[in-house]
Amino acid sequence: MIKAGIIGATGYAGAELVRILLGHKEVEIKWYGSKSYIDEKYAKVYGNMFQLVEDTCLDDNIEELAKQVDVIFTATPQGFLAGVLTEEILEHTKVVDLSADYRLKDVAVYEKWYKIEHKSPQFIQEAVYGLCEINREKVKKARLVANPGCYTTCSILTAYPLIKEGLIEPGTLIVDAKSGTSGAGRGAKLPNLFCEVNENIKAYGVSTHRHTPEIEEQLSYAAEEPVTINFTPHLVPMNRGILATEYAALKKIKQADGSFLLPTYEQIKGAYDKYYKEEYFIRVLEQGVCPETKWVEGSNFVDIGFQIDARTGRIILMGAIDNLVKGAAGQAVQNMNLLFGFSEQEGLTLVPMFP
């Protein structure tokens, strides 16, 4: 058994970490950190944990926590971990950070998009971007894992094989994504009140959303050239889920007779199979089937579908995830499994919930 501590255990992502880790046979949760609920019973904050969790919430003293556990999850706002992380902490424990503090390799880009000063840039290059299906071997050797964002996980995995195989023009990629309200966190915010969200759908962060450079950076690695995208997120009145619909121009493929033709369904499907056929958590759907958030809710799965539009020479890519599981806590546990040599599926064989 390894010991785990969670800082930010009373946020939505932190609570999802608790739910998943309680079902993990190799982990004991040692520390439920919450600055807002110090000394309160965790089960009072989340009634679903009644008689399942008897612990009280502790503070966010990461230095003390690092001496007691093997892994720390930080489900905290941007800037928290960067402001407290030290070499001594990383010598004692591994850290999986669910914030954006170490996702971007250029500190200037981080400070521009997040509008805060980065307090520990010395750890940025060491941090491994924890998109498990792409960086699995790097994660296994890491001390510090930057858990990807929810929009980014869905957007990157949906497009990655086609970018990597040169089947689409990277500079034409447009990502239109919808998220449930839990993606905004548990704090009281006027735009997220029931009357503001119910019976409504709205775009936000248009051309300025801070997940944009994260998606661009990772797809640039795949393309081996700079990639610039249009990314527009939307808020929809549901608790969980992300649906990303992505549009891109197809690259024509040179034929034996010297002519150029658009890729076929079989060639596109072959690219997905090349990268994802052995990936348990990625399900490439049958031809003509579109992903739906309800079929991944409560699970660590990513469902992906696509449709070639021969009339326009473009392709429509679609991906669906649960933003709190594969988009946050589930992926964090998947990273932890890699760090400690457990089965990657341990604690994560969560059958999607319906209805």
Radius of gyration of the chain from its Cα atoms, rounded to whole angstroms: 20
**Sign for the pseudo-dihedral over CA of 146, 47, 346, 2:** positive
Q: Kindly state the DSSP code that residue 100 receives in the 8-state scheme.
A: S
Distance from C-alpha of 197 to C-alpha of 177, rounded to nearest angstrom: 16
Residue ranges with strand state E in the chain = 2-7, 27-33, 71-74, 94-97, 128-129, 144-146, 174-179, 202-203, 230-235, 242-249, 253-254, 260-261, 282-284, 302-309, 314-321
Tokens coding 239? 């608790």
Q: Is 63 left (phi over 0), alpha (psi -120 to 50) or beta?
A: alpha
Of 132, 150, 154, 290, the active-site residue reads: 150
Tell me which residue of 68, 70, 102 sits closest to 85, measured CA to CA.
102
* Residue for token pair 């809710």: 297
For residue 132, indicate whether it is catalytic.
no
Q: What token pair was written down for 291?
A: 């992903």
Helices (H), 165-294: 194-197, 212-223, 265-276
Catalytic machinery residues: 150
